[in-house]
Amino acid sequence: MYRTDGYRVISDDPMYEIAAFVMDKRYDASNYIKQDIDLDLLQNYIKHCRQKGISMSHMAIIIAGYIRLVSQNPHLNRFVINKRIYARNHFCISFVTLTQSKTSSTVTKIYFNLDDDIFTVNRKISEAVEKAQEDGAESSMDKLAKKLVRIPFLLSAAVGFFKFLDKYFALPFSIVDASPFHTSLFVTNLASIRAGAAYHHLYQFGTTGVFVSLGLPIKKLFKNGELIEEHKVMELGITTDERIADGHYYSRCFKELKKYYSDPSLLESKPDCVIKDPDIKKKNPKFIVR
């Protein structure tokens, strides 16, 4: 089936196809991973950037590392709709941003190229946050939501129609663009409200396949040879959709992700290549760039 946001994939492994039928809801297929990131290593890199006049954020490092991971592991950019597996034709990230008043929040959605380096990622995030915190700033989702809630019964009818269209046909890309639930990765920074990392549920509506929460820094003990050392870490609570990749694939990916967070300077240059999803059967698939 044609979709505006992705291409149908047919895996050589029939278990992928079967899994989407056995676990037809995202909450059936959710796996949970807790990962510790050495905060001292991130802080050292942020200080190094500051010495060069660059204001680098923790969020930018986390997102840049994940983008680099997806560029080499394309299954992470897949999604499942109506028991069918698709490869996304773009890469974007949704995350919650506080408004200028700091009393309310909005969801920001940013498109990235899979070969973006960490400085490009940092710039895009900074620009998006600044825009979200401008007076009177509204995201596409905010504008759409305001229109829907103004008319009685319209919200229920519209959401039901969008769900039906998304499941059996395809939403117009303008709706996909406005929806924070149609995203490669959803990130929430719980440290900003002084909370620890949590395992956030995956939305049944939309195409979110991975959800990451950033927790408040904590101190943990680690064994280094015969020594016990105390390190300050940032916990990541990660929820994944098992249908887009198996446990071995995710395990290998998150071990690779630690490499980028241990040495963020690896993200300063573009990757040697971007690996395309091998199971897309369409000739010359196009990748949407914003």
pLDDT at 104: 67
Q: How far apart are CA 263 and CA 274, in angstroms?
A: 20
Neighbouring CB atoms inside 10 A of 77's CB total 23
Beta partners for 233? 38, 218
Question: Nearest-CA neighbor of 258 among 121, 30, 61?
Answer: 61
End-to-end C-alpha distance for the chain, whole angstroms: 24
The pTM (predicted TM-score) of the whole model is 0.92
281 has a pLDDT exceeding 90: no
275 has a pLDDT exceeding 80: yes
Q: Would you say how long the chain is, in residues?
A: 290
* 83-135 residue pLDDT tens: 999 999 999 999 988 766 666 678 899 999 999 999 999 999 999 988 887 76
Q: Alpha-carbon torsion 251, 237, 239, 141, what sign?
A: negative
The CATH class given to the 6-267 domain equals alpha beta
**pLDDT, greater one: 98 or 27:** 27
| Residues contacting residue 28 through CB under 8 Å, at least 6 positions apart | none
Burial level of 186, CB count in 10 A (0-12/13-18/19+)? buried
**Phi, psi values for residue 86, rounded to 5°:** -130, 150
Domain residue limits, the chain: 6-267
139 has a pLDDT exceeding 80: no
176 has a pLDDT exceeding 70: yes
* 104-114 residue pLDDT tens: 678 899 999 99
* 226-273 residue pLDDT tens: 888 888 999 999 999 999 998 899 999 999 999 999 999 999 999 999
pLDDT at 137: 64
